Amino acid sequence: MESIAWMAWTLPTAIFFIALACTLAVMTWLAAVYPEAERVGVLRIPTTRGDRLFVSLIAAAVIHLLWIAFLGTDAIATLPIGEDGFEISSLWLASGISLVTAVLIFRTV
């Protein structure tokens, strides 16, 4: 780990990228094992699973940025962990909305 210390990696960003890599790995595996057909959804464009994942990720980024811009990141709850408690940012709501959006995109687009 010493050799990459200069890159200043942090646990949250590492988790984010590991999750992203896992998603891509699952998508690759799905594509190899269950080849799929393009389909036309509400956007009236032919999309594959990969297209829908891309749109979902972009939508998630936009939702989070809009949330930060208009609603902020105030704490909505405090978990009783540690001495001062662990604050949960309202940004997690945006993450929830992003997940729901992703499900909708995968089902309808």
Q: Is the Cβ–Cβ distance between 89 and 73 less than 8 Å?
A: yes
Residues that bind other proteins (CB under 8 A): 6-10, 12-13, 16-17, 28, 31-32, 35-40, 45-46, 48, 54-55, 58, 61-62, 65, 68-69, 72-73, 91
What tokens were used for 82? Answer: 């540690």
Tell the smallest beta-carbon distance from residue 13 to other proteins (Å): 5
Q: Is the Cβ–Cβ distance between 75 and 88 less than 8 Å?
A: yes
Tell the smallest beta-carbon distance from residue 82 to other proteins (Å): 16
Between 72 and 104, CB nearer to other proteins = 72
Q: How far is CA 66 from the centre of its chain?
A: 15
Between 65 and 100, CB nearer to other proteins = 65
- Residues 39 and 45: their CA atoms lie apart, in Å, by 8
Between 72 and 96, CB nearer to other proteins = 72
Tell the smallest beta-carbon distance from residue 80 to other proteins (Å): 21
Q: Which of 88, 85, 45 is nearest to 54 (CA)?
A: 45
